[in-house]
Structure 1
Amino acid sequence: MKNILILLFIGLSGQVFYAQTVSDAVRYSSQDITGTARYRGVSGAFGALGGDVSAINNNPAGSAVFNKSFVSLSLSSGNYDNQTYYNDGITVSDKSDIDLNQFGGVFVSQGNGKLRKFAFSFNYDRSNDFDNGYVASGTSTNSIADYFSGYAQGVPLDLLELRDDETTASLYQFLGENESFGAQQAFLGYQGYLINPETDNINNTNYTSAQNGNSFDQEYQYLSYGNNSRFTFNAAAQVSENLYLGINLNAHTFNFRKETILFENANGSANAVSSTRFDNELRTYGTGASLQLGGIYHISPSLRLGATYDTPTYYTISEETDQYLSTNGINGNVVLSPNVTNIYEDYDLQTPGKATGSIAYIFGSNGFISFDYSYEDYTSMKYRPDNDVFFQQVNANIENQLTGASTYKIGGEFLSGDWSFRGGYKFIESPYKNDAILSDRSGYSLGLGYAIGNARIDLAYDWAKQQSNTALYDGAFANTAYIDTINTNIVASLSFQL
């Protein structure tokens, strides 16, 4: 039976968690352009327009633009295509899936006096999809033993030795309960014969890699699953002939699961271990809340302006991990399968706030063209509690490595009878100062719609490209894989005017 190990987060003890990195904060803070097919057909450039259920997530005032109640539901088929470069190896991975992408409705009531109209709405959007996978395969000059050696420094040898009444599972659990995640990694590396102590003294705290060669065939398999979802509760009003104001209360939830497996074969005879398999699984769950305020102003019947402020999202996050290591070499076949789940104490994450300005021009009954600009300061992200020394270091890394990032969206719609034709372009800057870690993201969209009485059917296709230089592990094993990613989506929406 699997043991459950609860690791309390005590920063003063030097506790090192599995995650809580800069890249994790970026992942949980990022939101893609998702929603109805009409919204995605113009790349989400809807901030000054309203009149679409998903546009409410862009600008809360947009629901008051509706003249009648309206509901919509959207399905999407997403695909990722990763081309991965790792040292001398190149691999290709791709996958498709179908998801419920959006559903929601707007309910309009006529006001009186200066308040001409009220609107209340609810909308669900899958704001980010974490489904991803790639294989990094090639020959490296360094071994995964460096990962274990890095974590082992400072850990007394006495903690890594099995006593007569201990098993690998019980000592792995003891180290997690009383020492740290880093001590657990040192234990795996030592018992797997991947690292050696500098001396046999039980008080030794210095270690070296047991792998002396400089040629290692490695294959790193990465799979992730999950999504970030947003539930929006909206209220808006037309407060004058030309001014619309709105507010959103957003509930956010995400689940993220990451599985990695590294296979390593040592070339040559100078190594203690000839083959290694190292498995890790991370499961993360988050819940959060945020607020949005927005307004739309009609300068003229044709020209409209929009403005929105999104507060930071305040998440509470839970994490748990599992590990497995097997090695084969001069000491025979060694399997370290603790069968222990590490459950960490909950922690908090504050994402960046966002300000958006929008402008749109309406060509009468023939369509529109619209532009949105948004800015987020990623250096404002914070892990909490603030007084924890580990989070203080990660927050310092966030300030040093990240920067402010702008998003540009432009889109248009042309109407011809019952048909609608749409197109758009988006450009999202990298949140990293060094955009070699994660590049800017750019893409385009196309859309088509057809009205049938009070119903409408919409289709959209969007394409986006981004490159990343992804670290396989955190710590002393600093190998990275360069990944060229293309994401495509096909979205279908069915909408009804009530």
Structure 2
Amino acid sequence: MKKLNLLFIGILSVSALNAQDISDALRYSQDEIQGTARFRALSGAFGALGGDMSAVSINPASSAVFAQSHASFTLSNVDTNNDTQYFNGFTTSGESNFDVSQGGAAFVFENRSNSPWRKFTIGVAYDRSNNYDDNWNARGTNPNNQSIDLYFLNYADGKRLDQISALPGESLADAYTDIGNVYGFAHQQAFLGFESYILEPDADDDANTTYFSNLASGTFNHNYSYASTGYNGKISFNMAAQYEDNLYLGLNLNSHFIDFHRSTLLFENNSNAGSIVNSIEFENNLSTAGNGFSFQLGGIFKLSPEFRLGVAFDSPIWYTIEEETSQYLATVRDDGGSNITQVVNPQTINVYPQYKLQTPSKLTGSLAYVFGTQGLLSFDYSRKDYSKTKFKPESDSFFTDQNALIANTLTDASTYRLGGEYKVKQFSFRGGYRFEESPYKDGTTVGDLTGYSLGVGYNFGNTKLDVTFDQSNRTNKTPLYNVGLTDAAVIDRTNSNVTLSLSFNI
């Protein structure tokens, strides 16, 4: 009868196979300053300037500022350093990545007729919009009676025992797979807790829906490791035009792609009197692949020979995303004075239904002052409302709850970028500063970001070589888990980048 019930419910419960949360939504909605060394040297404050391939990613009208066809390629090295505090524990970890971060070309076509449209440009550019290579370690003693058992108890609460346990003679791997296919992610987590002896039912009855923990109250030693790799990038197809002497207009059609892999591992130990389970090892792995589309509209207007005004609109990105997960759980329990190890290793890859994510749109306003051929100052301001991020289809009850959480937790955030450049003969000296507000209403789960940049360039004539160093800092309070064990690690993250670009006229 239980197997028949599983099959029947399976027909009705496909939509329950979800594991997405607010951290996924935010990860793919944010982007970093990426691009040419000159662009990064001004901290990305290029919306009113144009004349740079990475400026096209901010304002598509930028390519129409080129006097002739132009191309650039960029290499960058990113160093990430994390100083992590978890209660009484302090750790430091780092990650380094070297890659091609930008490449593109714009082709200029002059209009030799008497039309007020002076020239047209078409271009294509690749920009890595985010780098996901990261690792950090949270290690310390949790004094708040907070154990990973709360994670499993939370998911088990209200679920029937026969829905979170293996059938007689059924392997744990088969049971884990069947429960996931029929009931979904939450039941799988409860199954892991029950079959590892972390949880016990109040009554040994299939209809039981309440549980208690085999871990006694007290303190718990935690060693939590986070490691991720991957990137988010886009390929832009650009069209722009110059109207008379002072107006530039442009359009970008963007193809986005996601490649993200994450692994977390928790070791928990306790010596609390009365604990049956004294050691837990819990591993989770996630692989994400996605693609999306967006468009951008922009304009640059010369108010005078010195002053330039820019405005750009970034549409939402409409992503289609696929995810796979795998899990491993092992416990050591005291069984009559003997230590017994229980391993729940399904060796199963959970493949979740394809879903859609819509990121928020962004509006950018820019102002620049150009000192003839000697230098310039530039300022960009942009605003993005992260609370408008949405999982789709919105008719899905799980996504409805997640979207409500996003709307209540995230907020609109402003970004300020300031940059300057001064030329001495063939040399150009550059600097910049940026400030990004937290996308969270609490301002601490993800904190404000501050950054600065310094760069130098040399003009060989038809070819330019630029190098830049930039650094940013942000402090996050990251919960170890979104359910149960929600105590946070405080991560002070510093990103340092060295960027080298070669650009030339075609």
TM-score calculated relative to the size of structure 2: 0.95
Instruction: Kindly report the root-mean-square deviation, in angstroms, between the aligned alpha carbons of the 2 structures.
Output: 1.5
* CA spacing shift, 1:11–1:26, aligned 2, 3 Å: farther
Distance 1:375 1:145, change over 3 A: same
Runs of 4 or more consecutive aligned structure 1 residues displaced over 4 Å after TM superposition: 8-14
Q: Distance in 1 between matches of 2:434 and 2:11?
A: 43
The farther-off stretch of 359-368 and 210-219 is 210-219
Equivalent-residue separation in structure 1 for 2:186 and 2:220 (angstroms):
24
Partner SS state of residue 447, structure 2: coil
Distance in 1 (alpha carbons) for counterparts of 2:408 and 2:64? 42
Residue type of the alignment partner of 1:110:
E
| Residues 434-479 of structure 1, C-alpha deviations (whole Å, 9 max, x = no match) | 0111111110000100011211100011110001111111212212
Residue identity opposite 2:197 in structure 1: Y
Confirm or deny: 8 A CA contact 1:11 1:389 kept in the other structure. no
> Could you say what secondary structure the match of 1:164 adopts?
coil
Amino acid at match of 1:103: G
Corresponding residue number in structure 1 for 2:4 = none
Q: Does 1:391 align with 2:399?
A: yes
Selected match of 1:210 from 203, 208, 214:
214
In structure 2, C-alpha distance between the alignment counterparts of 1:252 and 1:163, rounded to whole Å: 44
User: How far did residue 202 of structure 1 move?
Assistant: 1.8
Correspondence list, 1:196-235, <5 A? 196-235=200-239
Counterparts of 1:309 and 1:11 in 2: how far apart (Å)?
Answer: 42
Question: Is the 8 Å Cα contact of residues 213 and 267 (structure 1) preserved in structure 2?
Answer: no
What is the 5 A alignment of 1:45-444?
Answer: 45-111=45-111, 112=113, 113-140=115-142, 141-331=145-335, 332-444=340-452
Distance 1:14 1:56, change over 3 A: closer
Secondary structure, in 3 states, of the residue corresponding to 1:432?
Answer: coil
Q: Distance in 2 between matches of 1:287 and 1:9?
A: 29
Distance 1:486 1:11 in 2: 47
Give the equivalent residue in structure 1 for 2:18. 17
| Structure 2 match to 1:3 | none
Structure 2 contact 15–396 (Cα < 8 Å) conserved = no
Amino acid in the other structure paired with 2:135: G
Give, in whole Å, the separation in 1 of the partners of 2:41 and 2:138.
Answer: 34
SS in 2 for 1:232: strand
Q: Is the 8 A contact 1:11 1:390 kept in 2?
A: no
Which string of whole-angstrom CA distances, capped at 9 and with x for unpartnered residues, describes residues 87-141 of structure 1?
1111001121101110001111101311101111111000001111100001113
**Whole-Å Cα distance in 2 between the matches of residues 10 and 240 of structure 1?**
63
SS at match of 1:186: helix
1:42-90, Cα deviation, whole Å (9 max, x unpaired):
0010000100010001110010000111111000000111011111111
Q: Does residue 1:447 correspond to 2:451, yes or no?
A: no
2:478 equivalent to 1:477: no
**Structure 1's 139 and 279: CA in aligned 2 closer, same or farther, altered over 3 A?**
same
- 1:142 Cα deviation from its structure 2 partner: 1.9
The separation in 2 between residues aligned to 1:489 and 1:11, in whole angstroms, is 50
Q: Contact 2:134 / 2:227 at 8 angstroms: preserved in 1?
A: yes
2 CA distance for matches of 1:133 and 1:154? 36
- Paired residue secondary structure (2:64): helix
Give the letter for the 2:38 counterpart: R
| Cα distance in 2, alignment partners of residues 482 and 493 from structure 1 | 35
Q: Deviations over 1:188-220 (max 9, x none)?
A: 111111111111122101112211131111100
Q: C-alpha distance in 1, partners of 2:465/2:224?
A: 43
Q: Matched residue of 2:353: which SS?
A: strand
Q: What's the % identity of the aligned pairs?
A: 46
Contact 1:47-1:306 within 8 A present in 2 as well: yes
- Shift of the alpha carbon at 1:32? 0.6
Distance (whole Å) between structure 1 residues aligned to residue 350 and residue 26 of structure 2: 23
User: Within 2, Cα distance between the matches of 1:173 and 1:199?
Assistant: 25
How far 1:11 moved relative to its partner? 9.3
Equivalent position amino acid for 2:453 in 1: S
CA distance in 1, matches of 2:331, 2:290: 35
Structure-2 separation of matches of 1:349 and 1:144 = 30
State the match for 1:467 in structure 2.
475
Q: Figure out how many residues of one structure are paired with residues of the other and give that number.
A: 490
Amino acid at match of 1:425: Y
User: How many Å apart are 1:162 and its aligned residue?
Assistant: 3.0
- C-alpha separation in 2, matches of 1:471 and 1:286: 25
TM-score relative to the length of structure 1: 0.96
